[in-house]
Structures are given as C-alpha cells and as structure tokens.
C-alpha cells in the first residue's frame, strides 16, 4: 500500500472519532457545534505528555481521554437544560473559547537544548513519539484502525442494549423519557463524558500522526464537518458517521476528477441527500430494514 | 483616558452598526423560520465577491458595486432557501441547518476557485481623512456605516409596521399557528423574508468591505459568527434585540480590544454569550428554537 | 543484564532523536501551470547537509486538515548534497502547511508553513483574521 493510501485511510479513521463523538450527542438529542474543541484538548494534552514529559503514548492517550471527558462535562453541566439552537450556540461559544485558549497556550520546556512545546499561534511541533519508537505508518494505521474497531464494537453493543434504547428515547422525546422515570440529566452527562473522551482519543492520535498541531486545526470547520458526516452518513447506526467520513474524504479525495471542486460536490450532495433522507443514508428506518433482511 | 473611552465607544458603535444589520438578517430568518441559516454570511460573501470580480475585471462605480453585492446576496440567499429551508419546512431543523452549512462549504470553495488570491482590494467608500471633532477622530466611513444602518433599520421598521407583508411577518413571528390558519401564504412569506434578510446582509457586507478596503474568503465565516453572536446577545428572535445586540457587541469588542488585545476581545464575547446562555437569562431563551 | 542494557538503550533513543532533529528550508517557484510549484528542499541535520534521505512532499491547509488532496510527490536529489527537488501541485493559493516525510537513514515528518502566491512561496507565521481597524 503506498504512503498516500495509508495517509488517507489514517485520516478517515481519525476523523471518524470526532464524527462519532458528534453522532453520540445527536442520537441523545443534542446538536453540538463544538466537538472540535475536545479533539483539540486530546491533541494538546497527548502531545504535551509524550513530547515534553516522555510519557508513553498509551498512557498519554488515556490521560487525554480523561481530560477530554472532563472538558466536555465542564461545558455540558451549565448547559444541561438548553435545547436546540441554544445548546448548539453554547457549544460553539465554548469551542471558540477553547481555540482562543490554544492560541494563548505557551508551555515550553527545554528538551536537549531546544525549546519544545505549544507556542500559541505558532503551534506545537515535534510530537515525534511515533518516529522515536520506530512505528511505521502502516503499523500506526493498524493501531488507529484497531481502536476505531473497538469503539465501533462498543457502539454496536450499546445500540442493542437497554442503554441504547434509553439514549434514543431521550433523543426523540425527553419529556416522555422523564415521565417513565429515566434520569435524563444523568444520562446526558454520561453521554457528554463519553463524547468528550471519544473526540479526545481522536485528537491524541491525530497529533501523533501529524507530529504538528496548531489552534487553527481545531476551528469551527472541523466541528461542523463532523456534524455533517454524522448526519449524512446516517443516525441509525455508528457506521453512519463512518460512511459520512468515507464519502467525503475517501471517495472524493481519491478521484482526481473532483480536485478543486470537492467541497462544492460534497456540499451539494449533503444538501440534496438531506432533502430525501433528513436523517442520513443509514437512518433508523434503513437500518431496521437492513436488520430484517439479514437476520 | 476619557478620550480613549469615548473614542472606543464611537468606534464600537460603528462596528456595531454592521453587526446590527447582520443580526437583523439572522433574526428575520430565525424569527420566521425558527432556524438558523449558517449560509447567511457566505451568501453575503458571494455578493461581495461578485462585486469584487466585477471591479477587478471591468472596474465599476461604488453604487453599481453596492447593487451587485446586494443582488448577489439575494440570489445566493434564494438558492439557500430553496435547497435548505423550503424542503425541511415542518421537518427536521437539524437537517436544515446542516444543509445550510453544506452550502456554506460550496460558497467558500466557489470564492477561492473564481478569485484565488487570499486578499483583494475593494474600492473604499470614502477616501481621505477623518473628521476631527475636538480630541476625537471620526472616520467618515464609520459615520456612513452608522447612517446606513439607521436607514436600513428605518426601512425595516416601515416594512414591518406599515405594509401587509410586514404584518404577515410579525404575525408569523408572534403566532405562527394562528397566522397560518388566518390564510397567510406562509411559503411565499418565507421566500420574501429570506430575500429581505439577504438584502440587509448584502448592505452590511458591502459596508464592511468598502470601509475595510479589502476582502478575503474569511468574510463568510466572520459575518456568520458576528451575526449569530449579536443575535443571541440581543435575544433570539427579537428584532429590536438584534439591533441592540449588534451595537452591544460592537461596544464590547472595541473596549475589550483596547484594554486587553484582540484575542481576549473575542474570548470575552464568547464567554459572555456562554454565561448568558448557561444562566438562561429570560430575554435570551424565550423563543422556542425547535 | 541484557534486559537492563536494552532498557537503557531504549531510554536513550529519544534523546538521540531530539539531538538530531532535521531542519528544512523550502524555495518554490511558480511553474506556469495553475497552482503547481517547482520546489527545492534543503535538509540539514546537526548543522550539516543531510544527504541520501528519501523525501516525499505533500501539503495541508491549516484550517480543516485533509480538506484538500495534495498527492505526496517523491523528491529527487538536487545538485548539492542536502538538496532535493519536487513538484507541489496545490489546489489554490494561500497558506499551506508543507509536510516533508523523510525515510532512509532518518525517519521523520517535518511541517513547514509557507504562503504561496502567484510567483512562489514565502515562509509564513500565524493565522489570518478579519481585524478591526484601530484608530
């Protein structure tokens, strides 16, 4: 497999994490424009831990996920009772605040006579853990892919369980859910923590894949894209967001024909598909139909 | 110190005038359709780029450029309305908003394809020096901006309170169900509201670009963010609130920037919005947002 | 004993890696075709030109990485040691984060920010924003 293909596949996997993060919140009924902030938290935290303090990547990844969960909870707690556009705007405000904080973040340490670490708008170079430990691009793709597969497996388990039904119930009709005794606020907080951890995991993996991150990587474009991936791919299954990412990056990237027109084509595709399938290709009805056909 | 404060206030009001116009457009669409149009800024940018293209290739007078900007914005707005909002009326708000974001991506790519340089000069509205009024500097273009904003608000007020169309719009904002039952042709009102909102946005965009003297592809995102921020600060869905929100945002930014610098300026604006939303301040959260 | 030695060596590797981080410089000229640039890469390591590396060059835009497809181009060794030449086929002008993937004696990934205009490329810093005019 050539380097380009490995790079594209790795990026597909990395963006799937943040798309799944947006998807999780969507099925619980909340539209977040801000998941890119937690992707960023994971990236910066993971990068700082491995590049400046010599932590091994797996440990740094766990820490990054924990920080991502905490960060998302910090946003979710004050905004629990907000709905619809109000919640979306609050997440947008929080995400932009995070991005500005990244711009103000200077955390420099001297490593072997050179200053390393995040330097505000100049970014954070030298996240070299992968290279220092001789991990080939193909191996890294394997690691990222395996983690994504694990996450998908978890999602599929949850979807079939009572928790999954609860989540979708809250998403469709929170008043009804509360009426039957579900603690809506607590479930939403749990979802928020999970979504934050998920986005952060994608972030730490992204930072090490790229060796360089900067605040502009985590702007609103990323956030709204992940929302779009989740919605066009379909809200019926965790494979939906994956499909959305594949559609955008995979198909349109690899077809030279679309070079330069990719966003025009993808944007048009999203708008048109949503007219006929407002909940995406793999929406709940389609998934139901597929399950019935194949079981 | 006092001089600085007043100078900043004046500057803030003039920036706020543009924000007020942007917020008015957003609020019109939100108030009537109950959805946020994420392509609002990009549609305005389309109009501004159309004018820039005309200017670069043919050279054109200020008035013609203004007309092209507004018509371009209205045209782009109509495209957005047909593709993103008309099909989802009564359906999923999320689908409409995500579709509007998808079109935003289209507008941005189109702008960079047709006009690939990052920065283009735009003819300035008013060449020449500022007026000096005692210790204060009044930029003439800032005054023009304020004047235009006032004129636009007056026009809006007249439209809303003295025409049948305006009556229908206000009815839809206040009592959507009753308005539909009373026989108002709702889809047709939506189309015209979109056109009006896009036109106001076009005016705002033209004023901003003509006073800055330059245009970049960031204009779309910038206009959307400022418009959304101002609309939310002033109270979602309230037209007078939009104007107040816009002016307040301008003032807040001017003062924050002076004392704290540009990054903290933006941070404070977003922090304020977040805190107001979290506190569920009544004027901000009265209107249902599907 | 062997395990300790191995452990020590593994610990020392990161130190070695940091001490010999390669540096790169880019000089690009517009080639005449739309948004295609002919670039010369100069690689140094520890102050000395770095020859014999396999260099592949691609680029991303800082905002929304992976939003544009720039196929990695393998660089050919240039006239002087430490110099490599490659073509960069971008989708548009503006600020790009150029990525140099190094293989061979040194494995690394370097990211450099350059502003591409109709003539060539200049190193760039920081982000672009719509700013207020100060009085």
pLDDT score of B288 = 53
Query: Which is more confident, C66 or C17?
Result: C66
C93, C128, C130: residue with CB nearest B117:
C93
Chain A residue closest in CA terms to C13: A132
CATH number for position B267 = 1.10.3470.10
Confidence of residue C18 (pLDDT cuts 50, 70, 90): very low
Is a pLDDT exceeding 70 seen at residue C8?
A: no
B137 contacts in chain C (CB < 8 Å): 135
pLDDT at A174 over 50: yes
Q: Residue B250's closest chain C neighbor by CA? A: C132
Range C22-123 has CATH code 2.60.40: yes
Asked, for residue B67, whether it belongs to a domain, the answer is yes
Integer Cα distance of A207 and A211 in angstroms: 6
Region C11-37: mean pLDDT is 72
Three-state secondary structure along chain A?
CCHHHHHHHHHHHHHHHHHHHHHHHHHCCCCCCCHHHHHHHHHHHHHHHHHHHCCCHHHHHHHHHHHHHHHHHHHHHHHCCCCHHHHHHHHHHHHHHHHHHHHHCECCEEECCEEECCEHHHCECCCCHHHHCCCCHHHHHHHHHHHHHHHHHHHHHHHHCHHHHHHHHHHHCHHHHHHCCCCHHHHHHHHHHHHHHHHHHHHHHHHHHHCCECHHHHCHHHHHHHHHHHHHHCCCCCHHHHHHHHHHHHHHHHCHHHCCCHHHHHHHHHHHHHHHCCCCCCCHHHHHHHHHHCC
Q: Which of B95, B96, B108 to mutate to test the interface with A (most CBs of A within 10 A)?
A: B95
In b/e form, how buried is each residue of A39-60, taking b as 16+ CB within 10 angstroms?
Answer: bbbbbbbbbbbbbbeebebeeb
Specify whether the CB–CB gap between B111 and B220 falls below 8 A.
yes
- Chain B residues in contact with A275 by the CB 8 A cut-off are 83, 87-88, 99
Task: Supply the pLDDT for residue B234.
Answer: 86
pLDDT in tens, C74-127: 888 888 888 899 998 887 777 888 988 888 777 888 888 888 888 888 888 654
pTM equals 0.88
Q: In angstroms, rounded to a whole number, what is the distance separating the alpha carbons of residues B264 and A123?
A: 18
Q: Is the pLDDT of residue A63 over 80?
A: yes
* For range A95-113, the mean pLDDT: 91
Phi-psi region of B60 (alpha: psi -120 to 50; beta: other; left: phi over 0): beta
The answer to the question of residue B103 being in a domain is yes
* Count of B-C CB contacts under 8 Å: 36
ipTM attached to this prediction: 0.90
Give how far A73 is from chain B: nearest CA, Å: 13
Residue listed under structure tokens 């941070």: B267
Stretches in chain B below the pLDDT threshold 50: 289-290
Q: How far apart are CA B230 and CA A225, in angstroms?
A: 24
Nearest to C62 by CA among C130, C128, C131, C121: C128
Bridge partners for C73 per DSSP: C57
Give the residue with greater pLDDT, C64 vs B189.
B189
As a whole-number percent, the residues of chain C with pLDDT over 90 amount to: 1
- Out of A83, A93, A231, the one facing B98 most closely (by C-beta) is A231
Domain residue ranges in chain C:
22-123
CB pair distance less than 8 Å for B289 and A85: yes
pLDDT of C9 over the 70 cut: no
Angle of CA points C55, C59, C63, to nearest 5°: 150
How many beta-carbon pairs under 8 angstroms link A with C? 79
- Binned at pLDDT 50, 70 and 90, residue A218 comes out as very high
pLDDT, residue B189, reads 87
Q: What is the domain range of residue B253?
A: 2-285
CA distances from A169 to A29, A166, A174, A180, C60 (A): 9, 5, 7, 10, 41
Query: Nearest CB to A216: which of C17, C62, C109?
Result: C62
What was the pLDDT predicted at C16? 47
Q: What is the pLDDT of residue C17?
A: 45
Which one of A47, A112, A228, A248 makes the best mutation probe of the C interface by having the most chain C beta carbons within 10 Å? A112
Distances (CA, A) of A256 to A242, B74, C35: 22, 33, 15
- Tokens standing for A110? 């001297």
pLDDT of residue B182: 81
Say which of C94, C132, C135 has its CB closest to residue B118: C94
Per-residue pLDDT tens digits for A222-261: 998 899 999 999 999 999 999 999 988 876 666 666 666 7
Res. A41: pLDDT tops 50: yes
3-state secondary structure of B234: helix
C19 has a pLDDT exceeding 60: no
CB contact (8 A) between residue A11 and residue C66:
yes
What pLDDT score was predicted for residue B128? 61
pLDDT range class, residue C135, cuts 50, 70, 90: very low
Determine, for residues C118 and B139 on separate chains, whether the beta-carbon distance falls below 8 Å.
Answer: no
Q: How far is B117 from chain C (nearest CA, A)?
A: 6
Q: B233 with B273: CB under 8 angstroms?
A: yes
- Would you list the domain boundaries of chain A? 3-219
């Amino acid at each position: 497999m050539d380097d380009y293909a490995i790079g594209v596949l790795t990026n597909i996997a990395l963006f799937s994490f943040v798309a799944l993060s947006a998807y999780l919140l969507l099925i619980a009924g909340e539209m977040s424009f801000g998941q890119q902030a937690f992707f960023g938290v994971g990236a910066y935290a993971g990068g700082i831990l491995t590049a400046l303090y010599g932590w091994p990547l797996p440990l740094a990844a766990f820490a990054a996920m924990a920080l991502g969960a905490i960060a998302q909870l910090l946003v979710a707690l004050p905004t629990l009772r907000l709905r619809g556009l109000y919640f979306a705007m609050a997440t947008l405000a929080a995400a932009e605040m995070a991005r500005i904080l990244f711009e103000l973040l200077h955390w420099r340490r001297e490593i072997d006579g050179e200053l390393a670490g995040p330097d505000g708008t100049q970014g954070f170079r030298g996240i070299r853990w992968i290279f220092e430990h001789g991990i080939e691009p193909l191996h890294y793709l394997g690691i990222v892919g395996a983690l994504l597969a694990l996450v998908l497996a978890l999602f599929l388990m949850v979807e079939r369980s009572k928790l999954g039904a609860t989540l979708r119930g809250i998403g469709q009709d929170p008043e009804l859910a509360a009426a039957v005794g579900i603690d809506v606020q607590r479930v939403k907080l749990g979802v928020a923590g999970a979504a934050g951890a998920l986005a952060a995991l994608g972030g730490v993996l992204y930072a090490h894949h790229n060796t360089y991150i900067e605040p502009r990587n985590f702007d609103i474009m990323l956030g709204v894209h992940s929302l779009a991936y989740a919605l066009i791919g379909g809200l019926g299954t965790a494979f939906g967001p994956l499909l959305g990412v594949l559609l955008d990056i995979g198909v349109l990237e690899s077809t030279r024909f679309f070079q330069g027109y990719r966003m025009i084509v993808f944007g048009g595709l999203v708008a048109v598909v949503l007219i006929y399938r407002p909940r995406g290709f793999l929406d709940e009805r389609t998934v139901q139909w597929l399950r019935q056909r194949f079981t | 110190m006092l001089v600085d404060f007043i100078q900043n206030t004046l500057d803030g009001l003039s920036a706020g005038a543009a924000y007020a116009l942007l917020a008015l457009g957003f609020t019109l669409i939100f108030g009537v359709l109950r959805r946020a149009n994420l392509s609002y800024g990009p549609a305005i940018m389309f109009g501004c780029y159309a004018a820039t293209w005309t200017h670069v290739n043919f050279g054109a007078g200020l008035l013609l450029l203004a007309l092209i900007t507004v018509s371009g914005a209205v045209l782009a707005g109509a495209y957005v309305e047909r593709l993103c909002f008309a099909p989802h009326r009564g359906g999923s708000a999320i689908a409409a908003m995500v579709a509007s974001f998808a079109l935003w991506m289209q507008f941005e790519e189109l702008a960079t394809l047709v006009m690939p340089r990052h920065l283009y000069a735009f003819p300035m509205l008013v060449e020449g020096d500022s007026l000096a009024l005692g210790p204060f500097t009044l930029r003439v273009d800032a005054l023009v901006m304020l004047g235009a904003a006032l004129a636009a608000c007056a026009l809006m007020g007249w439209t809303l309170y003295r025409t049948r169309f305006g009556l229908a719009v206000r009815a839809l904002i206040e009592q959507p169900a009753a308005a539909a039952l009373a026989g108002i042709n709702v889809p047709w009102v939506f189309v015209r509201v979109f056109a009006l909102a896009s036109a106001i946005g076009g005016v705002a965009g033209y004023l901003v670009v003509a006073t800055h003297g330059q245009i970049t592809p960031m204009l779309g995102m910038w206009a959307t963010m400022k418009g959304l921020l101002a609309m939310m600060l002033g109270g979602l869905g309230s037209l007078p609130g939009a104007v107040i929100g816009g002016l307040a945002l301008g003032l807040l930014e001017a003062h924050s920037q002076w004392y704290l610098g540009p990054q903290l300026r933006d941070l404070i604006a977003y922090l304020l919005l977040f805190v107001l939303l979290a506190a569920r301040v009544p004027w901000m959260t009265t209107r249902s947002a599907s | 004993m062997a395990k300790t030695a191995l452990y020590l060596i593994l610990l020392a590797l990161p130190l070695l890696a940091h001490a010999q981080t390669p540096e790169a410089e880019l000089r690009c000229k517009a080639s005449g075709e739309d948004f295609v640039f002919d670039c010369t890469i100069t690689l140094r390591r520890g102050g000395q030109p770095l020859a014999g590396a396999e260099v592949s060059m691609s680029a991303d835009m800082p905002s929304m990485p992976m939003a544009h497809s720039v196929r990695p181009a393998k660089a050919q060794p240039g006239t002087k040691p430490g110099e490599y030449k490659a073509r960069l086929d971008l989708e548009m002008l503006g600020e790009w984060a150029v990525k140099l993937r190094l293989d061979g004696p040194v494995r690394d990934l370097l990211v450099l920010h350059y502003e591409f205009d109709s003539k060539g490329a200049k190193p760039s810093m920081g982000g672009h924003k719509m700013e207020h005019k100060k009085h």
